[in-house]
Amino acid sequence: MQLVFLGTGGYHPNERRHTASLLLPDIGVAFDAGTGFFRVQKAIRSSTLDVFLTHAHLDHICGLTFILVPLLRGDLDRVRVFGNEETIRAVQTHLLANELFPIEPDFEWHILDGGESLPDGGKLTWTPLQHPGGSVGFRLDWPGKSLAYITDTTAPGNYTDFVRGVDVLIHECYFPDELDDWAVKTGHSSSSNVARLAKEANVKRLYLIHVDPQRPDDDPVGMDGIRDIFPQAHLAEDLMEIEF
């Protein structure tokens, strides 16, 4: 199965990275809707779209407004938005307030429950994460393959067993090690802590996202040190495509 990184940065876009959004184009499943979400309409290969939100911070939801035109044109037959109750309420009340966005998109709204069925016999589960305002992490399992998406939390956390053994772990890494104190203060993660989590959880591959937008350089998080701990680590870039 293919996954496309639509946006790999945190907080605000820069010349290199848009904010967080991932897409499984063949089955029409997206995670978060940051500024990179505008790329969905070109990348998707399904007539339906399910969007799973980790939380309601603006860098993860603002792109929901970008999908209005594909809906009105009929390029998408259905868009469903999933999140916990607080996230859905925040999006409906604030992002889509008439004063901010006067045309209400025809979304179907769904509160996350114990698990969601996915095409081809897959299942999506979620777990709460520690972050100011709250966040959730997602795991997808099919026979023979698995994926987890963890962002906006401080590693290590209470989710090690949740991601244990996945083929691909996509995890935020906003700060390099020398700014670990800021990771703790802001509810984000630093480099070596993410690498140690991946090693402890025995995941197969690690992709780092949600990096600091003040660092548009080739290596904002210190990949050599990360790979010393977990060799199968990669820094994701916008529009990168991977198979799992």
pLDDT digits (tens, 9 = 90+) for 193-218: 999 999 999 999 999 999 999 999 99
Tell me the pTM: 0.97
Q: Residue type at 227?
A: R
Q: What is the pLDDT of residues 19-69, one digit of tens each?
A: 999 999 999 999 999 999 999 999 999 999 999 999 999 999 999 999 999
Calculate mean pLDDT across residues 131-139.
97
CA distances from 118 to 28, 76, 106, 233 (A): 10, 18, 22, 27
Taking the C-alpha atoms of 16, 140, 25 and 45 in order, what is their torsion angle to the nearest 10 degrees? -170
**What value does the mean pLDDT of the chain take?**
97
Share of the chain above pLDDT 70, in %: 100
pLDDT of residue 203: 98
pLDDT of residue 114: 86
Q: Which of 238, 233, 237 has the alpha carbon at shortest distance from 169?
A: 233
Q: What is the pLDDT of residues 58-92, one digit of tens each?
A: 999 999 999 999 999 999 999 999 999 999 999 99
CA distance 240 to 33: 17
Sign of CA dihedral 105, 108, 113, 117: negative
**Could you identify the residue written with the tokens 């429950």?**
113
Calculate mean pLDDT across residues 120-124.
95
CA distance 85 to 91: 10
The answer to whether the CB of 67 falls within 8 A of the CB of 49 is yes
CA distance 202 to 162: 11
